Amino acid sequence: MGTLLSAIAFGLILASVIAIAGMGFTLQFGLTNVLNLSFGAVMTVGGFAAYLARDHGVSAWYGLAIGGAVGAVVTLAIGRGLFRLYARRGAQLLEMIMVTLGLGLVINYAIQAISRNNIYQFNVLQSAPLHLGAVTITPTQAILIGIAVVVFVGLEAVLRLTKIGTALRAMAAEPSLARSCGIRTGRVVIITWLLSGFLCGMAGVVYIINSQSVGYATGELFLPLVIAAALLGGAGSPAGAVAAAIVMGVVTEVVSAYGGPQFSTAAGFGILVLVLICRPRAVLGDRGRETRLTL
Amino acid sequence: MLSSWSFYISTLVVYFGVDALSGISLNLQYGYAGVVNFGFIVFQAVGAYVAAAVTLGPSGGVSAFQHYVFGASLPFPLPLVLATAAGAVLAAFVGLFSLRRIRRDYQAAVLLVVSLIAFQVVEADVPLFNGSNGLVGVPRPLQSVLGLSLQGYQWVYAGWVMVLCAVVYVLVRWLSRSTWGRALRAMRDQEDAAAGIGLNITALRMQVFILGGAIAGLSGGLLVEFIGAWSPDAWTYAETFVIFTAIFVGGVSNYRGVLLGVLLVPIVFLQVPQFLPQIGYPGLTDSLQWMIIGLVWMLCLLWRPQGILPERRNLAPAYLTAESA
């Protein structure tokens, strides 16, 4: 029983990392229709930004904002600059996913070249662990869960209560109608890149705070869970991404505790596979609608 | 000096053959059927692992220092046959969940994830295929029977790879021009219309995926019997994109273009830097090579998505005139 409870607690910690990344991914994907496979690489960039900042004496917690800001700028540059360039040349969904993957390769191996293919320690000052019944977690881990909750509530509030959030949801639903209603679509797209990029960079920092190390493959190892969470939760739905993240985080850690850590990520992905086999419609939604890139 | 060149060139011929098989397989899947198999390298890897395991003998015997499943010591052509079958079986399994009529970008992402996950599982699960150390000491087929010098054996093996490569090339080209191949292209260009004229889209996609998986498995078997070792480092997800870049450089949907691309990208581009003086720290060249592969791929997509030798689109009219005559 104690093992199971601990596994669930660790699952929630992992879920908070997946959820932050997944919300960024799904926001981007839901609005622009770009299935951005360079997302993992940008996460790594955010993580390294926080690492460098800490090297210069900045606290790891400010690193969250720095990583987020770097992620936002990088994402805006590639989204508004690079992806739009391809879209103007007639790239569609499939070509775009290849572009994002090529970009992911370039960024990943650029980081490998710069970081000399080393893994760097990223220790956050640890205080006494918290005992919650049978479960023992560190205060850092508790804070990470708190951050995920704050991000989720904040994002939902922005999407539901502000004008820009309404515009964003309108555009995700029907871009051309939104444009003819007078929504400045270009501005909304820019805000989407910035917001999702911020979440992406921040997720990279959260990930390395949790794993206490950063290397060039950090984001790439994590990407399967993020993609699975975004597909499982439904494109463009932060709540769906969070729910999927919780399911996958808990399953991953429970399998890791009982079946061996080598199968943990595979088990998380296994859920997506099961859903794809049994209920493809749940993941894929209505096939009839024509989907286009919105950049 | 001369003999070391002969050794090197025969090795490159084998690599070319293996990469050409990969290119043909991926071009059949992507160029003809429009299946974006971002997990291609996994099917080559399973072929290599199976061929290695059924050649090495029972696990725990002579090679007690490594662990693997399917241990056996089968005679020469059988490991290759099993490698081919392994590629096909894995493709059937992966195809079961990834080839549904779903958005093709979803499909590509799911296949990429398959590649990343398979890597993590095989690397971490030592009893399966010896984890991150991989399998070593795979004997070369018939080396003792043939009784050739190392030099001679190299060239015999290279010739054998070339023969298989030619057989697969002719077979796949013939298939691509058959009714089946035209159905594939119809599916690629107009999926809904193809379904409308009664083609079974899911079945077609599954067939092409399994055939491609089988060729990939064969290429893996050929490679491992030559180099004698196989580990996760040989099949990171990025390896798939070397082949993708090759077919984009050479020409998508054009088999001659694919051969050209395979010659240019994995052979010339990845081999030439070995002759250049080393720059920076060890390993920097590798990172830069991968970056350039990614850049070349992106530039191809931007400037010349059809490659150096574009697809020949006059096949259908030629066929029609032949029918009516």
* Domains, chain A, ordered by start: 2-278 (1.10.3470)
Contact B99, B205 (CB under 8 A): yes
CA distance A187 to A168: 10
Tens digit of each residue's pLDDT (9 = 90 or more) over B6-52: 888 899 999 999 999 999 999 999 999 989 999 999 999 999 999 99
Per-residue tokens: B5 = 């060149």
pLDDT at A24 (0 to 100) = 95
Helix or strand or coil: residue A225? Answer: helix
What is the sign of the dihedral through the CA atoms of B66, B69, B73 and B76?
negative
Q: Do B103 and A228 touch (CB under 8 A)?
A: no
Nearest by CB to A98, which of B106, B295, B301? B301
Residue in chain B closest to A94 (alpha carbons) equals B105
Residue B259, Cβ density class (10 Å: 0-12 exposed, 13-18 middle, ≥19 buried): buried
- Chain-chain contact of B113 with A227 (C-beta, under 8 angstroms): yes
B223/B132: higher pLDDT: B223
- Determine whether the interchain pair B117/A221 forms a contact, defined as Cβ–Cβ distance below 8 Å: no
Residue of B nearest to A225 (CA): B113
Q: How far is B317 from chain A (nearest CA, A)?
A: 27
Torsion of CA A249, A254, A260, A261, to 10 degrees: 20
All residues of chain A having their beta carbon less than 8 Å from the beta carbon of residue B121 are: 262-263, 265-266
Flag if A97 and B108 touch (Cβ within 8 Å): yes
> What's the CA gap between A47 and A53, in Å, rounded?
10
Average pLDDT of chain B, as a whole number: 87
B294 vs A280: CB contact, 8 Å cut-off? no
Complex prediction ipTM: 0.87
Q: Residue B232: its chain A contacts at CB < 8 A?
A: none
Q: From the CB of residue A277, how many other CB atoms can be counted at a distance below 10 Å? A: 12
Question: Which two tokens mark B270?
Answer: 């990845």
CB of B228 closer than 8 Å to CB of B222: no
Three-state DSSP class for residue B254: coil
Decide which of B41 and A172 is more confident: B41
Phi-psi label, residue B147: left if phi above 0, alpha if psi -120 to 50, beta otherwise: left
Determine the Cα–Cα distance for residues B319 and B325; give it in Å rounded to an integer.
10
Distances (CA, A) of B82 to B135, B152, B306: 17, 27, 35
Question: Which residue from A minimizes the CA distance to B121?
Answer: A262
Distance from CA of B312 to the nearest CA of A (A): 21
Q: Which of A35, A260, A273 sits opposite B97 (nearest CB)?
A: A273
SS3 label, residue B60 = coil
* Chain B residues near residue A220 by CB distance under 8 angstroms: 116, 237
| Closest-CA distance of chain B to residue A252, Å | 13
pLDDT over threshold 70, residue A243: yes
Nearest-Cα distance to chain B for A205, in Å, is 21
- What percent of chain B stands above pLDDT 70? 94
Look at residues A41, A47, A202, A199 and name the one whose alpha carbon lies nearest to residue A120. Answer: A47
Name chain B contacts of A224, Cβ cutoff 8 Å: 113, 116-117
Q: Greater confidence, B211 or A235?
A: B211
Considering only A73-82, A141-150, A279-288, which range has the smallest mean pLDDT?
A: A279-288
Smallest Cα distance from B298 to chain A, Å:
6
Task: Give Cα separations from A238 to A13, A25, A153, A178, B157 (angstroms).
Answer: 18, 9, 10, 21, 56
**Residue B43 near residue B216, CB atoms below 8 Å:** yes
Using CB atoms within 10 A of its CB, is residue A157 exposed (0-12), middle (13-18) or buried (19+)?
Answer: exposed
* Neighboring chain B residues of A110 at a CB cutoff of 8 Å: 287, 291
In this predicted structure, what is the pLDDT of residue A282?
57
d(CA A276, CA B113): 14
| More confident of the two residues B282 and A280 | B282
CB B117 to CB A266 under 8 A? yes
- Give which of A24, A192, A195, A293 is closest to A184, Cα–Cα: A192
Cβ distance of B124 and A261 shorter than 8 Å: yes
pLDDT tens-place string over residues B211-259 = 999 999 999 999 999 999 999 988 988 899 999 999 999 888 888 999 9
Contact (Cβ atoms closer than 8 angstroms) between residue B116 and residue A223: yes
Contacts of B67 (CB under 8 A, 6+ apart): B59, B60, B126, B127, B128, B130
Query: Of the given ranges (A68-72, B135-139, B309-313), which has the lowest mean pLDDT?
Result: B309-313
**Which alpha helices (DSSP H) does chain B contain, by range?**
2-26, 40-56, 77-98, 104-124, 126-129, 143-146, 150-177, 179-189, 191-196, 201-227, 239-250, 255-262, 270-271, 284-303, 315-324
pTM above 0.95, yes or no: no
Between CA A228 and CA A252 the distance in angstroms is 12
Minimal C-alpha gap between B75 and chain A (Å): 33
DSSP states of A97-147 as a string? Answer: HHHHHHHHHHHHHHHHHHTTT--EE-PPPP-PPEEETTEEE-HHHHHHHHH
SS3 B190: coil
Cβ of A265 and B97 within 8 Å? no
- Partners of residue B120 in chain A, C-beta under 8 Å: 221, 262, 265-266
Q: Which of A97, A105, A277 sits opposite B109 (nearest CB)?
A: A97
